[in-house]
Amino acid sequence: MTRSLPADRPFTHPGVLVGGAQLDALRERVTSGRRPWLKAYRDMRDSRYGSHEYRARPRTDVSCPSGDHAGPGCVEEREDAIAAYTQALLFTVTGERRHAAKATEIMDAWSARLKRHTHADAGLQAGWAGSTWARAAEIVRHTPGADWPEDRVRRFEAMLRTAHLPYVTGRAPDRDGGRDLVTTDAALSIAVFLEDRATFDAALRRFRERVPTFFHLRKDGLTQETCRGFAHVGHAVAATAHVAETARHQGVDLYDDDTAARLKAALELHAPYQEGAPAPGWLCGGRVERDMGPDLEVALNQLENRLGTPLPATRRLVAHSRPAGTDDHFVAWETLTHADAP
């Protein structure tokens, strides 16, 4: 593991959030009927995203006004990207090409139409969708038997390069840090799929600059958005863990002692209040919004299982909420992919 990708080292594929060893492990666990992976797989398979009748709803212009994530095309793109990712995971487990065909059908529909994201939340939308598109495309492109035509792959690359990257590669110092972490997740994910070293390196720099400003290390675990709402904290935790996990697949270590300490403090502060413990008066005046969503599996696995850092409150919360489903934004099926992942 290094701090950056050496110039002579090729990108590892599949390597966006999930890698080959993880895909092999989840396949073995599901086919052997092990828990919680079998239940997580069945939930994914039986969701609307796993349906063979799922139909893409592409648009040319995805318009997302500030604070309104239901603008024309916003929900449709996020959900279609999750559906493509779901079908890609189903393909890796079952080997049934119909799932690969459904994933490529969805991705081809969007790459044939999408030109731009517009309005105030264009970057956030491109971040949520772009990271998920890259995960789906990475699996399908690099799994034997998917048979995604090369001309369609190139067209999908062009969509990510022109309709997503421009919105997720700029620093946003005047915006909330969670948004910046989400867009960094997308930038790094797309960079791996495109094998774009310059974008990859820039995303690593953004990550290292942003994490200390979002996760305040004062041994109390407060974050920039704690009192705005735990859902925003959950999104930031998920995006942070996604970036670090994707980098890890490329041989780059982003979990230095400082980053690990910040994440641990934040997780252990927020988790008990998700379980119903009364918030102390010093924390947001005792009023906390308790919805972190299915966002913690990737961080928990890295910190506790790989690094040996105990997170008792976080583990209790994750165990209580398993199997984690999807937030319908950019987090999906992470009990299946990351619970005790190698």
**CB contact burial 210-221 (16+ within 10 A = b; e otherwise):** bbeebbbbeeeb
- In this prediction, residue 171 carries a pLDDT of 66
Q: Which of 10, 3, 14, 59 is nearest to 189 (CA)?
A: 14
- In this prediction, residue 175 carries a pLDDT of 63
Residue 5 falls within a domain, yes or no? no
Cβ-in-10-Å burial (0-12, 13-18, 19+) of 66 comes to exposed
Residues of the chain with pLDDT under 50: none
Residue 6 falls within a domain, yes or no? no
User: How many whole angstroms from its chain centre is CA 187?
Assistant: 12
- In this prediction, residue 69 carries a pLDDT of 64
- In this prediction, residue 301 carries a pLDDT of 98
**In the numeric block, which tokens belong to residue 339?**
């619970």
The number of domains in the chain is 1
Residue 9 falls within a domain, yes or no? no
- In this prediction, residue 287 carries a pLDDT of 80
**pTM of the predicted model, to two decimals?**
0.96
Domain that holds residue 170: 15-338
Residue 192 falls within a domain, yes or no? yes
Residue 10 falls within a domain, yes or no? no
Residue 7 falls within a domain, yes or no? no
End-to-end alpha carbon distance in the chain: 15
Question: What would you report as the CA-atom Rg of the chain, rounded to the nearest whole angstrom?
Answer: 19
Residue 2 falls within a domain, yes or no? no
What's the CATH number where 327 sits? 1.50.10.100
- In this prediction, residue 68 carries a pLDDT of 58
- In this prediction, residue 174 carries a pLDDT of 57
Q: Which of 311, 298, 320, 325 is nearest to 270 (CA)?
A: 311
Residue 93 falls within a domain, yes or no? yes
